[in-house]
Structure 1
Amino acid sequence: MIFPYTVRYGKPLFRLAARKGGNVADRIAANPGGDPHRPCICIGQTVAVAPGRTMEAVDTANPYDYERMMEDLGLLKQRYPFLAVESIGRSVLGKTIPSIRIGSGPAEVHYNGSFHANEWITSLLLMKFIEDYASAYVNGAPLGAWDVRPLFEQTSLWIVPMVNPDGVELVLRGLSRENPYYRQLMEWNCGLQDFSGWKANIRGVDLNDQFPAHWEIERDRRGVPGPGPRDYTGMAPLSEPEALAMAEFTKSRNFQLVAALHTQGKEIYWNYRDLEPRESEAIACRLASVSGYEAVKLHGSDAGYKDWFIQEFRRPGFTVEAGLGVNPLPVSQFGEMYREIAPLLLEGLASVSIKS
């Protein structure tokens, strides 16, 4: 199958072949007249790509930004047409926030990543999981110790891999003078050009302090008076389009369980003001068992996505703090983190499929 691929950077055809699979002969045949050793004419040029059968779409060796995620979604959709990709809304700067559904079962589950911009590695974890889950299902192969076919047939998993695309781009690409918030962002960041520690969205609001679950208490606890790199709750709950999109998306589905991936700490938070259902602690213990993380009963935190989900629906909701270190965690940690997180994500699906 041949499909169009738009070049982000000047790339020789042999490098494009290495990135997207196949071989140079295939690339030359698909793009007659192209010199395999010369860069593409310009950024934005469209070339024809025929994905190889064994290539991996998701590159786990490099930092993972929004454009790379969108490219990978196109590749994965071509390879696995049963993946349903749609938009749940747009960011402040107008970027589409995609969701991906995998599975055909009646029990609905939701996972998300990159609420916080400097935790972009969670997007990479989820995108790699989508690829591996889809591949295992198609090939009838196990994923780790799991036979995924029953999970696929009993559950529908909805993943929003990057809730905060504007923030992720700011962390990984820096601040362009063309950004409409350039002046404000420089002021909010104390005049520093280094945005690698930025957690908030592009308007300086912490998206995981935006939900109507005792929001006023969290606002007063944080005590952050205005926009900045972290911990500003905004002027009101769901004032930011990314948080509003997540709330509306969640209300539109019938999720039996949700998990928000964050970094770091190797901990699983499972409770909220004693509103969680009885089975939440037992599920958290199973998630901890397969991942090596610690299940923690957390107090003194409000207004997060998990908090709101538990309060609103009285169903199991989890915050998973992946990895160890100082955010942003380096991509060199990805392999170890994925070996811990993939079984946890599968166990979450199994917890729901058992009930169905």
Structure 2
Amino acid sequence: MVESSGRDHLKLSVIGAKQINWGVAVGDDLDRLDEYGWNELLKKKYIVFARINPYQKFRIIEECQKRGEIVAVTGQGVSDTQALACANIGIAMGITGSDIAKQAADIILTDDNFASIVKGIEEGRLLFDNLRLSIAYTLAHLWPEIFPVVLQFTLGLPLGLSALQILSIDLASELPPSISLAYQSPENDIMRIPPRHRNDRLVSRPLLIYSYAFTGTIITVGCIISFLFVYRYHNIGLNDLLFTADNYWSREANNFTVNDVDVLTPSEQLYIKGQAAAAWQITLVVSQVFHLYMCTTRGTSFFRHATTNLVSIFAVIIEILSLNFFIYTPFAQSFMETQSPPN
């Protein structure tokens, strides 16, 4: 909304608006508009309102809100107080604005520069996007963490991830990358995207489908393949593993016979189980490294945008180092009950 007060300003407003195909409404004409007239006027994307009084300004806000619009109003004087208070977003001038206008507003523009409003919108969009990215990234690794327990309860397979492994993933490996997404820079088209719907939520159905049904499922399948590959490496097939969790793969386990030929002692069973658990953890964490860079861009090329966040690069380095510590160092292997997987 653009307001003009003088007669010369009115002429300039009308001429300028018509040249760029904007709608024009003069204050006196607003008083004669009925419901149909307001509908026709507010169908226009851009409108110049000229020579309007405080009541007419309030009426404009009210009619826009009745049609589901989110209304932002800027003002500085006492006459703007009602409009600032009833708008969805009231923005008062910090330097030239009156005290009563500042009290009625939701936001105070400290430098009285309208360009700062655009910058604030960009920062708000970036914050919302980065929060969504971090949530989508974090949720994706929950399904591959839960699925080992599901396989053990339903098919009796050896546990693919221990509780300590899950803690090491959540509190060490995955923590730096999820935090690094807060430092993502905006994509080039962030201000060209239409505003989101007022009913949109931070955690939406598409986000949950993406994290659980798409990305989470792909990572889970990769983890299962790596897990079974280790047992296959030791000539133990899936049929041999079914419903063995209760009697085998622990220190007090019975000897495990493979193909009616090879006999595995409890210590050998624990060694193979530790290798398989390590393979599951490695696949999960490495998959999340690639997923991190999928999350960094919506439409821009990965090679153009992903490297702008140096924090994410350091986060990945920390993630890989922590993974190597938990999998390959004898100290960590002793309490994580993992073993270096086969080459």
More strand by share: 1
- The two structures have a TM-score, normalised by structure 1, of 0.19
Larger radius of gyration: 2
- The two structures have a TM-score, normalised by structure 2, of 0.19
Larger RCO (CA under 8 A, 6+ residues apart): 1
